[in-house]
Amino acid sequence: MPTCRLCGSELTATFVDLGMSPPCESFVAADQLDQAEAFYPLHVRICSTCLLVQLPAYLSGEAIFSDYAYFSSFSDSWVRHAERYVEHAIARLGLTGDSFVVEVASNDGYLLQHTVARGIRSLGIEPAANVAEAAVERGVPTEVLFLGEETGSKVAEIHGRADLVVANNVFAHVPDIVDFARGLRALVADGGTVTIEIPHLLRLIEGNEFDTIYHEHFSYLSLLTTQRVLAAAGLTVVDVEELESHGGSLRTWSMPTESGVTPSPAVARVLADEAAAGLHTLEGHAGFAAKVSQVRDNLVEFLIEASREGKLVAAYGAPGKGNTLLNYCGVKPDLLAFAVDRNPGKHGRFLPGTHIPIRPVEALAEARPDYVLVLPWNLRREISEQLAYVSEWGGRLVVALPRLDVFEAGEIR
């Protein structure tokens, strides 16, 4: 029986079970198509004691992130989001050329390029060497390592402790979340700040966002459980912002507990919203699985009907979340001919499990599909603008989440 990564209790309650799926970023080369693939459970549990929703560590962080296929800078809107955050943090914290900023899981330097450009001493910590190399080429100093209390202390000894430590969309990606939080505490100065961005469990449930469940995401966090993890590491959430990114996220602002800063009213407000939705009780998490199966049924019915009518359907994007969706729904190339992606490293490869081929974006204009299934639905507005040309041949766009929607290319809503 697996045990809770926060409190150690046995995990006996199920949140949702999505069956078996391959690691979402394990794209398949052409010469591997006839070889066996590894599939692991996507059986998400909830701790009856502390309420942390979590996926057991079927794969280690090293196995997932040591050589990684995701580069943040391929999303224009995400780079703009990062720049807005940097401007906000500089103004809020009074950061200057004498300050020091560290980002954990800094990827290809998508965020720290903005602090570097403003003359602020910066350091990235990124476990994937191939991605870190891209950051260094961008002018962002980067250490290649996994953060924990020990490595965080070593970095602080070498570089000093930071005025601001940033951890965007990584908190959920670590198997030992308490050791990671202690690493954050080791990096930050006693009067410094730690900001964390996480997909909000409340929005995941409200929006049927089950495709954000994959083996890279070990924890699915509410503000309540985030507070509990950070408290175990000596950090206190002093403020929180609600963001639209990733279908609905939280940005928490934390400080060392000994700073004694009183949490803002926003913290109490978000906690009250969670409690009203039932997320502060075990029973309040029930019912999600039924909503998930309805999404599957609607998408498969749409694709089968399109096939019967002789329509060509392709996909835009090859994100990890899309692979959860397609494997759970059992979609194969007979229903979804191909996918396109802006990342040239994915071209010529195949989606894990489903073996749908990945092509350059230009393949859409060549094939002129009747429908384009947008897999990164959280970037719907940006992608709809990019794909406005699909309407030239009468093609339309489709998203499966939070509910099936067919709409005109270029439509903004």
pLDDT given at position 74:
61
pLDDT given at position 1:
82
pLDDT given at position 175:
92
pLDDT < 50: residue spans in the chain: none
Domain 289-408 has CATH 3.40.50.300: no
Q: Global pTM? A: 0.86
pLDDT given at position 65:
59
Three-state DSSP string of the chain: CCECCCCCCECCEEEEEEEEECCCCCCECHHHCCCCCCCEEEEEEECCCCCCEECCCCCCHHHHHCCCCCCHHHCHHHHHHHHHHHHHHHHHHCCCCCCEEEEECCCCCCCHHHHHHCCCEEEEECCCHHHHHHHHHCCCCEECCCCCHHHHHHHHHHHCCEEEEEEECCHHHCCCHHHHHHHHHHHEEEEEEEEEEEEEHHHHHHCCCHHHCCCCCCEEECHHHHHHHHHHCCEEEEEEEEECHHHCEEEEEEEEHHHCCCCCHHHHHHHHHHHHCCCCCCHHHCCHHHHHHHHHHHHHHHHHHHHHCCCCEEEECCCHHHHHHHHHHCCCCCCCCCEECCCHHHCCCECCCCCCEEECCCHHHHHCCCEEEECCHHHHHHHHHHCHHHHHHCCEEEECCCCCEEEECCCCC
**Is 289-408 the same fold as 63-285?**
yes
pLDDT in tens, 301-355: 999 999 999 999 999 999 988 999 999 999 999 999 999 999 898 999 999 999 9
pLDDT in tens, 129-173: 888 998 999 999 999 999 999 999 999 999 999 999 999 989 999
pLDDT given at position 244:
84
Name which CATH class applies to 63-285: alpha beta
pLDDT given at position 83:
93
* Residue spans per domain, the chain: 63-285, 289-408
